[in-house]
Structure formats: structure tokens, C-alpha cells
């Protein structure tokens, strides 16, 4: 009988790295120039789970602005520039427990990232926290036509991880690690099991996940998922 899981798929922002404050700061800077004052509470309540395109489209729409493609592309370009500066200034770090947890998992499972962030942002921050070598597969915003919370990004990640490992993996064989309730709901609907992390939302809002923890601390995760092989 095959052991479960066969692979682990991670979200990035707010799961591996405390990069959500950077995204908020960049969104806030860009939108303020457009006369829109995005609050931190609005960002965490409304935009988590969106990629940049979806985030700007959502904010413009609720403020009665037409989210035409040219405007959205312009805002995305400015936000990318703002993010690059924040990353360059090292305004981020790995979340508590992540380094040891990811290293321990990587010795037993193939790992992948599925994120609504841009690939360059992901690569730079992974290098910054010395975890780039743990993730042979990364699916970013540029790789999908429809971003999160749609589950197609995770399905593409699974396909690429299958190609990397040389064996066909199905959603029910994999564990997804996420922090956004809307994404948790969508990936469970296509067959993934989900470990939620309460970094961006309280545990009470993560009830649709199979399991939920406050942080990716090995001891805390082991209590819920004793079958996970966390190699020293």
C-alpha cells in the first residue's frame, strides 16, 4: 500500500515567507497614487488568494473604476517595481519553523510551490531564506491564465511535479499547505487534502481545511499528521 502523502505542494506568500506585508505595502503605494486608500485590514480580508492581476481588478471594481487591461497592466508593473525594491531591502524572513520543517520534508518527499506571486519575486526570496534548493518545481503567476483561488494552478503544479518525479501523481496523493480560505476551498473541491496555516487568518476561519496549525513547527504538525515523515 502506498504511503500518504506522495508529495507536498506549498503556497508561498504567508506560508513559507512573511511576504504578505511586502505585498500590502506595494499594493498600498500603487493604489494611493490612484486615489485609493487600501487599508491593511482590507488587504488581508479581500485580496489574499488573488494574484496581482486579480487583486487590482477586484479593488478597481469595488471602487467603481473600470479595470481595463491597460490600466491593470500599468498597475501591475508599478507594483512589481515596488516589490523588487522591498525584496532588495530584505524586508522579509522565513516564517517560524519553516526552515526546519521544509528541510525535514524535502528529505522524504518531492516539494513544489504554487503561488500567485511573480517567479522572480519567489526565486529572490527563496534564495534569501536559503530554501531554493528544496523546490524543484515552482508554478507562479506567469504560468497560469486563471489565478488563485482557481485550483488550476495547483493542478498544473501537480502535473509538473509528476513529470519531475517520473510518476503520475493525483490530488488525493498530495498534501497542500495553504493560508487562504478561498484557495483551501477550491483545492479541496478537486481532491487535495489541505494543511492550513494560521499566519494570515485565525484558526476559526480555516475550518474547511483538513487540518490547521498556528505555525509550521514540526511538533505541532506531527500531532495532527503523525504519518508525515519529517527526517532529521
Give the CATH number of the domain where residue 66 resides.
Answer: 1.10.150.240
Report in angstroms the alpha-carbon separations of 195 from 73, 151, 165, 201: 33, 15, 22, 13
> Is residue 54 in some structural domain?
yes
Please give the pLDDT value at position 1.
Answer: 46
> Is residue 70 in some structural domain?
yes
Choosing from 88, 119, 135, the residue where a domain stops is 88
> Is residue 229 in some structural domain?
no
Total domain count for the chain?
2
Domain limits at 147?
Answer: 7-18+92-224
> What CATH number does the domain containing 12 carry?
3.40.50.1000
Residues 207 and 132 placed together within one structural domain of the fold: yes
Residue 147 carries which DSSP code?
A: -
Please give the pLDDT value at position 89.
Answer: 85
Q: What is the CA radius of gyration of the chain?
A: 17
Estimate the crossing angle of helix 52-62 against helix 20-32, to 10 degrees: 50
How far apart are alpha carbons 11 and 48 in whole angstroms? 12
Given a contact cutoff of 8 angstroms between Cβ atoms, the answer to whether 157 and 112 are in contact is yes
The whole-model pTM stands at 0.86
pLDDT along the chain (232 residues), means of 10: 88 92 93 94 88 93 91 94 88 91 96 95 94 97 92 97 97 97 96 96 95 94 94 73
User: Can you read off the three cell numbers belonging to residue 108?
Assistant: 522524504
The residue among 136, 133, 139, 170 whose CA lies nearest residue 153 is 139
Residues 127 and 175 placed together within one structural domain of the fold: yes
Choosing from 33, 61, 88, the residue where a domain stops is 88
Please give the pLDDT value at position 51.
Answer: 87
Residues 198 and 147 placed together within one structural domain of the fold: yes
Please give the pLDDT value at position 232.
Answer: 67
Name the pairing type of β-strands 111-114 and 7-10. parallel
Amino acid at each position: 500500500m502506498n504511503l500518504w502523502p506522495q508529495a507536498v505542494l506549498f503556497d508561498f506568500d504567508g506560508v513559507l515567507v512573511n511576504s504578505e506585508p511586502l505585498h500590502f505595502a506595494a499594493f498600498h503605494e500603487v493604489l494611493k497614487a490612484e486615489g485609493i486608500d487600501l487599508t491593511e485590514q482590507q488587504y488581508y480580508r479581500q485580496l489574499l488568494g488573488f494574484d496581482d492581476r486579480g487583486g487590482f481588478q477586484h479593488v478597481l471594481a469595488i471602487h467603481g473604476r473600470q479595470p481595463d487591461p491597460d490600466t491593470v497592466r500599468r498597475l501591475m508593473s508599478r507594483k512589481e517595481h515596488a516589490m523588487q525594491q522591498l525584496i532588495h531591502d530584505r524586508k522579509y524572513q522565513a516564517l517560524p519553523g519553516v526552515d526546519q520543517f521544509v528541510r525535514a520534508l524535502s528529505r522524504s518527499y518531492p516539494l513544489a510551490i504554487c503561488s500567485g506571486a511573480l517567479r522572480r519575486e519567489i526565486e529572490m526570496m527563496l534564495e534569501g531564506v536559503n530554501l531554493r534548493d528544496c523546490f524543484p518545481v515552482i508554478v507562479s503567476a506567469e504560468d497560469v491564465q486563471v489565478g488563485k483561488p482557481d485550483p488550476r494552478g495547483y493542478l498544473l503544479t501537480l502535473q509538473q511535479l509528476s513529470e519531475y518525479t517520473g510518476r503520475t501523481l493525483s490530488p488525493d496523493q498530495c498534501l497542500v499547505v495553504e493560508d487562504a480560505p478561498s484557495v483551501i476551498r477550491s483545492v479541496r473541491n478537486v481532491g487535495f487534502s489541505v494543511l492550513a496555516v494560521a499566519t494570515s487568518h485565525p484558526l476559526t476561519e480555516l475550518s474547511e481545511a483538513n487540518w490547521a496549525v498556528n505555525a509550521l513547527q514540526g511538533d505541532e504538525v506531527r500531532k495532527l499528521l503523525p504519518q508525515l515523515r519529517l527526517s532529521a
